[in-house]
A and B are shown apart, each in its own frame.
Chain A
Amino acid sequence: MSPMVKRQLPFVALAVALFLFGGLAPHAMVDVGIWALIYGIAAIGLSLLMGLAGQVSLGHAAFIAVGAYTQALLVGKAGWNPLLAAPVAVIASMLVALLVGLPLLRLRGHFLALATLGLGIIVGVFVTEQDFTGATSGIFGLPNLEFGGRSYDTAQEYFLLLTPIVVIGLWLASNLVHSRTGRALSAVNDSEVAAECLGVDTFALRLRVFVLSAAYAGLSGVFYTHWLTIVNPSVAHFELSVKILLMVVLGGLGTVWGAVIGAVAVQLLDEGLRAIIPVLIPSAKGEIQLIGFGVVLVLVIILMPGGLAQLWSKVMSAVRQRNHPIVRGEHEHKVTQEEQRDLLEESLKLLARAEHMPAGQTILAIRGLTKRYGGVTALDNLDLDVKAGEIMALIGPNGAGKTTAFNMITGVLPPTEGSVVLEGNEVAGKRPHIAAAIGATRTFQNLQTFKSTTVIGNVKVARHLRSQAGLIRGMLLLDRTEEKLIDQASQAAIDAMGLTSLADKQIADLAFGKQRQVEVARALALEPSVLLLDEPMAGLSGPERDSLSWLLRRVKASGVTVLLVEHDVAAVMALADRVAVLDDGKLISLGTPAQVTSDPKVIAAYLGEEDDHSGGPAESPTATAASAATSPAAGGQA
């Protein structure tokens, strides 16, 4: 059975189980089940928001309310056919989310959470204040759903109507998690900066997921309306928002299945508490079930942050281990250097982009690039032209401003002053995904891998810009052909780095040097026109350094421009066409390796002689920086 078909089985099983339950269970249980399914739809959407976008809505009931009220108004007051009204109700929810998300999702951290909490209050206030929404008494006397010759007015009928909706909703959400969009957002959650440098537009994707999550909530509101046949301001209340949130958290953050399981569990908890608490405390009235919600939320986060899904996978892996003890010491195929180079030629063919700027033209023009932090100037007025098809190395003592320059070229940091023109486009001060879209990507000095996935999972993110499938194509599984191409190209990049045997390993299990190589493979998979490598040799063994040098020459030969920050001076001098030397934020020398090594200023900067002897107190920072860098530099030159 193909893995694709295998992945569909749980959905079939869920559908069968729900149909059986709806058909056979006693009326009272089906009634509880209906509410679990109605709220479960909203929980699936919130689960996407929390799992993929890493954001939380504390007022998700507001979106349910918008859907519910829109449906009630269109059907109850305007006399629309419910089937026509439903899409409008869903769109209304999505519009509200768009309005809130547009300004707020650009900000990191807590703001969306608090703003949605406020939105819940505002929607509640609005519907209470307006006459057309029936003020405090709401809109009532709505019809039951009736279509296709059936009337959905009994619990059983309604449950059977909801079943396919929930299963399909879950299926779509699950597909999204495994799609190009899901992969990109999951990468953002692991390392936002790395994902953006590979061309992921975090804001745009998060906004889409937020709007989608509101669509689920709006649909939930539609079914709420037709089951209760009355809508009043209580639907927007904080209590419901907490309940939906609890469903997601209890079920398990990061899995859409958890939302449905959590919905059932929370609905049972809700009904149970409402029955038990008044028996224990006779004076209790109002929303007393909240105590259970609060306590369970806290306990799950403290004791079992992965929710019921985590519990399930623990149980399953325990069962599996008993049945199939893990075989240790698996055979690893050793590839000879010859074989690897053949493999590499093949992979480079796959990765070769047709058009590169003609060699020798200026592909990257840096003018007056400056970064100041308060009184400290990290990079001072850098002018540099990088020619297409060359390997340029950026060297200098620690703290010379090399990484700062990289950060500003790739959009990771906005410059204080100056411009960066990449293939004719100004990119200074723009987000990293803009530079990536033009063709510049990078690796990082301090590793920025996507820790929650495998080696190939890391590399596939780099194909983001070389593929198109959006939210809808991903949800409907119309992205299969493209996904195959992504797999092939990613495998090619991994082969090129000689990491073939590690492709399916979790990246977090690899040694530091290997992770660094994965970063290079990842950057190559983007098919960049300018490749910026920040200390790619660090942590690599001698033979690994040799293969990387060899690979970079091959990459250059295929027309890619390489900009390199590296402390291994010997390797740099052997590899680079030109070398730029930075010291204390200033460009002090630029030329061929031979020219640079004989430049007295460079020698002084590296050995720190002049500063050590003649430098007064005013120059002491330079002296410190230079002497701090002496030892690694000297080691490299030896």
Chain B
Amino acid sequence: MTDLLQLVFSGLAQGSVYGLVALGFVAIFAVREIVNLVQGEYAALAGLAAISAVGAGLPLLVAVLVVIPLVIGVAVLLERMTIAPIKKMTPLTSIILTLGVSTAVKAVMLLIWGPEAKGLPTFPGTDITVGGVSIRSQELWVLGIAAVVAYAVIWFYEHTVRGKSLRACAEQPVAARLVGISPRTATVVAFAVAGFTGAVAGVVGSPIYLSAWSSGLSLGLKGFVAATLGGLTSLRVAMIGGMLLGVLENLVAGYLSSGYRDAVAFVVLVLVLLFRPHGLASKTSAVRV
């Protein structure tokens, strides 16, 4: 029982990192119907940059506060340079394009930081044990920060007029223009949000799960799987889906074999698409005809 609780708890922490990445997928997909394969790279980049900043003598908090806007800037800049110039975006084009960007970013990280995985120092705090379940303070940081960020993003998109009209851009481009929001603004904001959630995922996760040039690949795939659970349109289900995925992975790793951890996401993806292609919560069509 303690084992189970232990696995579930650390799975929740790991999964909230996936959830944050998934929020970025949903933010962009809702506006542009693009699956942005660079999503995982934002997290890897944030983790590695923060490690360097700390290595250069900056205090942890300062490093984090510098790195997050930096990654947001990179996300928006890459969008302006690569997505914006394309006039006719098809699913095929968007996948090839974002795959190209993600590959280039991976390689740049490899050139700068080398092939080894590194970790950021843990955030301040002491590890505790509750009822036999040992809880690392970093896991509490991950859960807490993820909860705050997810709440903020959901609140922005669902409860502010500006956020709501940004999302409406995808369905009602003309109406959105009438209230003064251009698709361009909506896209830039979506990429900024994606850069933000990705960067947060990268820095809070780095002390436990480490950062490497290639870690964005599987992180991105898992974020996508979580986003798929929400039909690529629901922020809430995407966040919760990420946490469920984290728990499931931990259970497989704990009870079957740790090597198969990375296979869980793929199996979940196939099963979801097979039985609930429009997501767990919704019955309406997310896949446009």
Contacts and interface: CB of A to CB of B under 8 A. Distances in A.
A588 interface: no
A290 interface: yes
B262 A297 contact: no
Nearest to A135: B259
A313 to B, nearest CB: 19
Given A56-B96, A117-B221, A122-B263, A298 B82 contact: yes
A110 B111 contact: no
B83 to A, nearest CB: 10
A109 B115 contact: no
Contacts of A331: none
Contact of A128 (B104, B108, B259): B259
B244 to A, nearest CB: 17
Contact of B99 (A55, A107, A242, A253): A242
B32 interface: no
A298 B110 contact: no
B93 interface: yes
B92 A54 contact: yes
Nearest to B97: A301
Given A245-B99, A291-B111, A109 B287 contact: yes
Contacts of A294: 100-107
Interface stretch (B54-62, B141-149, B150-158, B267-275): B267-275
B257 interface: yes
B93 A305 contact: yes
B100 A122 contact: no
A451 to B, nearest CB: 13
A274 B226 CA distance: 36
Given A107-B287, A118-B266, A125-B260, A290 B96 contact: no
Interface residues of B, number: 48
A301 B93 contact: yes
B86 interface: yes
A199 B90 CA distance: 25
Contacts of A297: 96-97, 99-100, 103-104
Contacts of A286: 110, 114-115, 213
A281 B265 contact: no
B82 A302 contact: yes
A287 B93 contact: no
A409 interface: no
B85 interface: yes
A108 interface: yes
Contact of B287 (A50, A108, A117, A281): A108
A56 B92 contact: yes
Interface string B68-98: 0000000000000010011000011101110
Interface string B12-35: 000000000000000000000001
A29 interface: no
A150 B118 CA distance: 51
Contacts of A298: 82, 97, 100-101, 104
Contact of A288 (B107, B221, B225, B262): B107
Nearest to B88: A305
A103 B277 CA distance: 10
A110 B35 contact: yes
B111 A288 contact: yes
Nearest to B35: A110
A21 interface: no
B108 A126 contact: no
Interface string A126-152: 101100000000000000000000000
Interface of B: 35, 82, 85-86, 91-93, 95-97, 99-108, 110-111, 114-115, 213-214, 217-218, 221, 224-225, 228, 257, 259-260, 262-263, 265-267, 269-270, 273-274, 277, 287-289
Given A108-B288, A125-B259, A288-B111, 5 more contacts: A100-B270, A111-B228, A113-B91, A118-B225, A121-B217
Give the 9 A-B CB pairs with smallest separation, nearest first. Answer: A294-B104, A297-B100, A294-B103, A291-B107, A118-B266, A290-B107, A298-B100, A129-B259, A286-B115
28 contacts: A50-B92, A100-B270, A103-B270, A103-B273, A104-B270, A104-B273, A109-B287, A115-B266, A115-B270, A119-B266, A121-B217, A121-B218, A122-B263, A129-B259, A242-B99, A242-B103, A249-B96, A277-B111, A286-B114, A287-B110, A288-B110, A291-B104, A294-B100, A294-B102, A295-B104, A296-B100, A302-B82, A302-B85
